[in-house]
Amino acid sequence: MTGQSVLIVDDEPAIRRLLRTSLGAQGYRTLEAATAAEALARIAADRPDVVILDLGLPDRDGLEVIRAVRTGNAVPIVVLTSRESAACGAPGATCSNCGCMCRRSARRSGRPGTAAPYPHRNRGRLPPRRAGDAAMTLAAMALDALIPPGHVLDRLRAPDKTALLNALARAAGESLGLPPAGIAAALAAREALGSTGIGGGIAVPHARIAALSAPAGFLARLDRPVAFDAVDGRPVDLVFLLLSPATDADHLRALAAVSRRLRRPEVAEAMRTAPPAALRAALLGA
């Protein structure tokens, strides 16, 4: 897969930056577009191998972009969205909205025909990718399963960025039964590629860990802000640590979903003012 081109279509610079850095670290060549018009122009001119598309674009609905692309191009499209209605039928069904091979969002309902949620342990494997689209939605992604109550750290103290990453690695290692040193090294290697501080006092450090069998998230509210080399220069006080298996296909989807959730001003404010017992609920909107 190394050397293939990926077009990232998203109007949020912080999301594009996170995806660009993560994909670049895996050997992909990235292209970017912030609007539907830019996306269609780049698809026609650059012929990317894959398109990662946010449906909530400022100038045109993402589903319209997919329809426009499908008039003469079979490039695989991965949809990143928080729009619950974007999901279509059962896994592998043809979406009547966009003509793509889509898969319903992860849910906790357990209804027949729906995908399994994001259980922290013993997570089922996704259906194999098909030729054509791999368009998927994060509308109802089970963040409550990705980050169980025991993965919340309130008033975490750290004097600097390195100490913060080490503290997160220790907490994750203890919870997951993994060596903290390995997690800390993976996080440091990712930060060396570019800060995961996405602005607004928020950071989303992340790494792939070979020993993991399922994604795991950890939420931390700091005792005091820490300089993190964030994109806007603001110290961070809210941190979401995301650890994924080395070959997990949902890593970028989870990363984008978490980042979007945290960057909502009302969510960040609720998390900063919530009492300790309500911190997790503030993130989930429960």
Please give the positions annotated as active site.
Answer: 206
Strand, helix or coil for residue 201: coil
Between the two ends of the chain, the Cα-to-Cα distance in Å is 39
In whole angstroms, what is the distance from residue 114 CA to residue 258 CA?
22
Structure tokens at 70: 């499908």
**Strand (E) positions, 18-90?**
29-33, 50-54, 77-80
Alpha helices in 121-222 (DSSP H): 143-146, 161-176, 180-193
Name the maximum alpha-carbon separation found in the chain: 55
In whole angstroms, what is the distance from residue 27 CA to residue 21 CA?
10
Structure tokens at 146: 């990705």
